[in-house]
Structure 1
Amino acid sequence: MAEALLIDLLGLEMNSQDSSFQKLLHNMLEAVEKHYSVSAPSVYIMCCQTQQSGRNGVQDWLLKAMSSSQILKRSFEIICTANTTAALYTIKQKLDEKDLSIIKIILPAQRKALMRVFIDHLFTSVYHFEFEELWVDCEPNHLQEAETQNEVQMLPAQDTELIVNEIQTYLERLPSLKGELTILKSALIPGDIFLHGFTTRAGGISYIPTLSSFNLFSNPIRRDPKIVVRENLRRLANAAGFDPKTYHSVKVNHANDVWIMGKTEPKSYDGITTNQRGVTIAAPGADCIPVLFADPVKKACGAAHSGWRGTLMGVAMATVSAMIEEYGCNVRDILVVLGPSVGACCYTLPQESAKEFHQIDPKCVRSFDSPTPYVDIRRATRALLESGGILPQNIQDDSIADQNQNITFCTACHPDKFYSHVRDGSNFGTQIGFISIRN
């Protein structure tokens, strides 16, 4: 059963004074009221705002036409916009606010293929859409008799590209949310050789509360689509000064595999290294540690995603080893910076897992006798790096003496600045650490 009903009138000639158009709307509204009188979903009517139609004229006529419809009078909204992107994005925000996911779309048959492209880019698999044809010459009960149509023809590639461009242009014009874009930088990494930083949650366009606003990871089971994340990344690239077309993030597997750029890319990996100029590599984090590596002598760099499993499996030293083996780096020259991540103040694990951290360094575990001790994955990462030969002074984390230089904040403790899986649950956003070698 549909939770929301979307009536697409954008493809029709909208003249509120046209008697045939008025008849169409009357018949459609009668059919919709009869067909959906029990479920009474939220109803959104998309219409076109143009100089010819005039927003007020069409909207006033629709309001008048619906005045006799009790079900619609309670729940309908008219979305009058210049294009489909603006209408659908507005409706998506309303659906997300109400946590609605099952949508029936009534639209002209010729709009189906086009609408599917918009849906594929603006929505994720969280949402479920059904299509029903809007017949221009329909009788009052025709919508009820029409079968739901889910078979949608493909649009030509050129038309699809135009739609994607329309969406991108619209998103680029949206204002930033939660303040200005902020990039945290480490004084340990030389800025004349490397471009790097760690993002916060400010300055993007993601509007869903737990993803707002600078989410940099898209997952089909969340409500932030890839195209929104790409727009956030574009804004980051503009602010930081790198090319988003040469951006590569690790494909997280919570293990210790490392991809050396230039070799065959694995299906999944938690570390990545390169010595190519102008290529930006990154690691995500939302409690897990985004770790950056830089060798200013050999001019090579790396990024790793280190959660508790990856930490125990040694992903940080695996990335260091890859830099040594591939680029001839000296372990004493490699600089390592741990980005924002969950602190021992907020992170617990079952005792069996905590025991493994205790074996690395007893100070990594607090309340060891508890069924769920507090675990310090940062201290464990430092201990493993130092045992692997990284100089203590070449590691930056929250243990540095000058806290004004600290960038390894606890993500769970700072909801205004960072995303946190521990704090926010399954629908969490993601920040990143990124690094590149300047040209």
Structure 2
Amino acid sequence: MNDSIILDLATDASETTKDYLITTLRDKLNGHKRQKIIALCAREMELTLPQSIETIISTDNIDLCFKAKSLMDADNITDFVLVTSLMMKKYWETVFLHMFSHVHNWSVRGVDVPNQPSGLVRPEVDSVESSIKNYFKTVGNPDEVKILRSALIPSDKFNAGFHERYGGVSQLPPIASLNTIYTMRKPDSQLAINENRRRLGQAAGFDPEQLKVARVEHGKSIWVVGKTPPAYYDGIVTNMPGITIAAPGADCSMILLADTVTGACGAVHAGWRGTTLGAVRACLKAMVDEYQTNPKDVVAAIGPTVDGKCFDLPAVDASPVHELDPSFTWPSESNIDWVHADLVKANVKMLELDGVPSSNIDTSNAYCTVCNKQFFSHRRDGIPFGNQIGFISYKA
């Protein structure tokens, strides 16, 4: 059963349709209380229902839908039905397909309204996607997007950085607002993610259409741009100018590698699994193998990452980190046979072992994601959670 009901009184505000839809709603309620009832209206109107109702007023249907989604996101509502006239059923289905994600279990009930006004015109279905794209550009404040740069990566040769979570269009609190990753578990539609990436690209100076983001599996597979990509990969390398490669994170390390001689670059995601598997070493090796990178010419930057004091795991799983340096792990205070692990230091050590000079490794942006709420954090926020990315491109 749908937890909430949205009542469309905006596309046809005639008294005939209003009364008929409200009667239909009463029948659907049948004495059962729903988590939320939202009325979409183009103007103020008096509504009498057996349950309290929240009214949204706007002459823009996309605005009405987005604000209804925001209300439901705030209460973590994912199941709902919209009641509208049969004439508007296809239109609202198209809007919902672009506005909501696979997390949402929605339906549109089209009611055959007798004596509906003959002059009523259904909005163009073909223009829905472009209307939502344009609407998203008006949401929130893009000026809040903040880019974090590494002073070690030469800005005349590379465009590289990380970012904070503000300035986007995502509404659900754990993923608000600059969530850059679309997944089946998040309530952001692909159009919302595209807008967030557009804003990030605008602030950072890259073309979002040329953005390649790792499809992570917490492993160490690396995709060489230009070759057939694996189904999943935690790192990307390229030497193609203008192609921006990126790795996501939400506690896991995002590590950027820049070859200051050849222009090759890499971006790799390394959580505890990727760290213990040596994902950053695999990324560096791919640059060496594909572009003849000399590790001594590489500059590395590690982005926001969960601090060791905010993270623990079974000692047996952390053994590769402990083997790098026993000081990188220490006993957990809350879990027997668990340890804290410093992922940042572990990844720094692996880069050093593979020939990257310690003076070429920048950890100044490795803020703790759990402690600093300007970043997304799986451990702090639970599921669903948002993702930031670390990005890099070669300017040529």
Which of the residues 305, 325, 329 maps onto 1:365?
Answer: 329
Distance 2:24 2:213 in 1: 50
C-alpha deviation, 1:267, in angstroms: 1.0
Per-residue displacement from partner, 1:48-104 (whole Å, max 9, x unpaired)? 3xxxxxx3xxx23xx0xx34x4x1xx4223333223211110111111222222212
Query: What residue in structure 1 maps to residue 369 of structure 2?
Result: 411
1:111 to 85, 88, 91: 88
Match of 2:317 among 353, 357, 375: 353
Q: Aligned to 1:251, which of 196, 211, 215?
A: 215
Deviation at 1:350?
A: 0.8
The alignment yields a C-alpha RMSD, in angstroms, of 2.0
Whole-Å separation in 1 of the counterparts to 2:168 and 2:250: 16
Match of 1:215 among 174, 179, 188: 179
- Partner AA of 1:378 in structure 2: V
Contact 2:21 2:84 (C-alpha < 8 Å) held by counterparts:
no
Cα distance, 1:30 vs. partner?
2.8
Residue of structure 2 in register with 1:224 after alignment: 188
2:133 is equivalent to residue 168 of structure 1: yes
AA aligned to 1:410 is C
Q: C-alpha deviations, 1:364-383, integer Å up to 9, x for none?
A: 10127952211111111112
Counterpart of 1:420?
Answer: 377
Q: Distance in 1 between matches of 2:75 and 2:332?
A: 43
2:353 aligned with 1:387, yes or no? Answer: yes
Preserved contact between residue 331 and residue 390 of structure 1 (Cα < 8 Å): yes
Q: SS state of the match for residue 129, structure 1?
A: strand
CA contact (8 A) 2:247 2:254 kept: yes
Quick one: distance in 2 between partners of 1:26 and 1:396?
A: 65
Q: Quick one: structure 1 residues 331 and 131, their matched pair in 2 at CA, closer, same or farther if it must change by over 3 Å? A: same
Match of 1:121 in 2: 98
Q: Which residue of the partner structure matches residue 33 of structure 1?
A: 26
Contact 2:255-2:302 within 8 A present in 1 as well: yes
State the distance in 2 between where 1:328 and 1:31 align: 70
Query: Does structure 1 retain, via aligned residues, the 8 Å contact 2:74–2:173?
Result: no
Tell me how far apart the structure 1 counterparts of residues 201 and 307 of structure 2 sit (CA, whole Å).
28
Partner of 2:54: 77
> What is the CA deviation profile of residues 265-323 of structure 1, one whole-angstrom value per residue up to 9, with x for unaligned ones?
11110010111111111001111000000011001111000111111111111111111
Please identify which structure carries the higher helix content: 1
- Return the alpha-carbon distance in structure 2 between the equivalents of residues 328 and 38 of structure 1: 72
Q: Read off the aligned partner of 2:3 and give its amino acid letter.
A: E
Q: Deviations over 1:185-227 (max 9, x none)?
A: 1111001000111011122222222112221112221222222
Contact 2:16/2:115 (CA < 8 Å) preserved in 1?
Answer: no
User: Is the CA contact (8 Å cut-off) linking 1:351 and 1:368 kept in structure 2?
Assistant: no
Superposed, 1:233-244 pairs within 5 Å as: 233-244=197-208
Q: Could you tell me which residue of structure 1 aligns to residue 66 of structure 2?
A: 89
Corresponding residue SS for 1:345: helix
Distance (whole Å) between structure 2 residues aligned to residue 367 and residue 30 of structure 1: 63
Query: What is the percent sequence identity of the aligned residues?
Result: 33
CA contact (8 A) 2:306 2:370 kept: yes
1:23 to 16, 19, 37: 16
| Pair 1:292 & 2:256 matched | yes
Distance apart, 1:330 and its partner CA: 1.1
Corresponding residue to 1:45 among 39, 44, 48: 39
Larger radius of gyration: 1
Q: How far apart, CA to CA, are the structure 2 residues paired with 1:7 and 1:237?
A: 37
Tell me if structure 2 keeps the 8 A contact 1:9–1:47: yes
Q: Distance in 1 between matches of 2:64 and 2:315?
A: 51
Structure 1: 4+ residue segments shifted above 4 A: none
Counterpart residue identity of residue 47, structure 1: C
- One-letter amino acid of the counterpart of residue 112, structure 2: W
The answer for unaligned runs of 5 or more in structure 2 is 117-123
Which residue of structure 2 aligns with residue 326 of structure 1? 290
Please tell me whether the aligned partners of residues 276 and 318 of structure 2 are also in contact (alpha carbons under 8 angstroms).
no
**8 A contact 1:284–1:290 mirrored in 2:** yes
Q: Which residue of 2 aligns with 1:191?
A: 155
Q: How many residues align?
A: 386
Aligned to 2:119: none
Query: Aligned in 2, Cα 1:295/1:414: closer, same or farther, shift over 3 Å?
Result: same
Look up the match of 1:150. none
In the TM superposition, what is the alpha-carbon distance from 1:138 to its structure 2 partner?
7.7
For 2:383 and 2:332, how far apart are their aligned partners in 1?
27
Structure 1 partner of 2:395: 438
Q: Report the Cα distance in structure 2 between the residues aligned to 1:43 and 1:393, rounded to whole angstroms.
A: 59
Please give the TM-score of this superposition, normalised by the length of structure 1: 0.83
Please tell me whether the aligned partners of residues 212 and 245 of structure 2 are also in contact (alpha carbons under 8 angstroms).
yes
The letter of the residue matching 2:381 is D
Deviation at 1:386, TM superposition (A): 1.4
Q: Does the CA contact (< 8 Å) of 2:87 and 2:110 recur in 1?
A: no
